[in-house]
Amino acid sequence: KDNKMFEKKYNIINYSRLIIVILTNIIILLLFINLSSAKFLTNESIAAQNNITKAQNCLDDINRHNINTTRAVEALTEAQQLYTAQKALENKGGTPNYETIIKGSELVCFIKDSALLAQDELNIFLEEYNSVSEQINVSGMSAEYNNIINSFSQERFEETPEFIDKGYEKLAELQAQ
């Protein structure tokens, strides 16, 4: 009787050990799989974070030039918020998508490039406009002038150079009269 009791206890202990070994191996395997996939996702996360940092630098550059930055601030804020959400998803083991964050960050730098170009062209145009306005009546180009000023002040920087070209054409036309 004692032998049978001992064998039962021995078998139960062996089965318990076997179950513990199997569960430990499963946990180790799951951790390995999770860490492997997290490493790949972390690389995407790092790339997105680098783009956000670059976008912040672009925004700082716009601010140094005293240009209205509402559009760029909104794009950067959205990218930062999306990054936080995607990073939380990644941390919970989900599959994040950093593509929208990268596009939003790139938009900030595009706005910066457009704004700086538009500002340079606007300053040159205004010098010419002011010089010509001392010699002739330029009231005939108020629509063109307003389009130029409004496109820049409303942060439609991509349109400003086109309006400036039209402004130069109108100035030349007025000078020829």
Identify the H or E element spanning 20. helix 2-64
State residue 93 phi and psi, 5-degree precision.
90, 5
Selection from 137, 167, 169, 130 nearest residue 149 by Cα:
167
Q: Sign of dihedral through CA atoms 40, 42, 48, 51? A: negative
Confidence at residue 68, expressed as pLDDT on a 0 to 100 scale:
87
The mean pLDDT values, 10 residues at a time, for the chain of 177 residues are 51 59 66 52 84 95 92 94 92 88 95 97 97 94 97 96 97 93
Rounded to the nearest 10°, the torsion over CA 9, 11, 12, 15 is 160
What's this model's pTM, rounded to 2 decimal places? 0.73
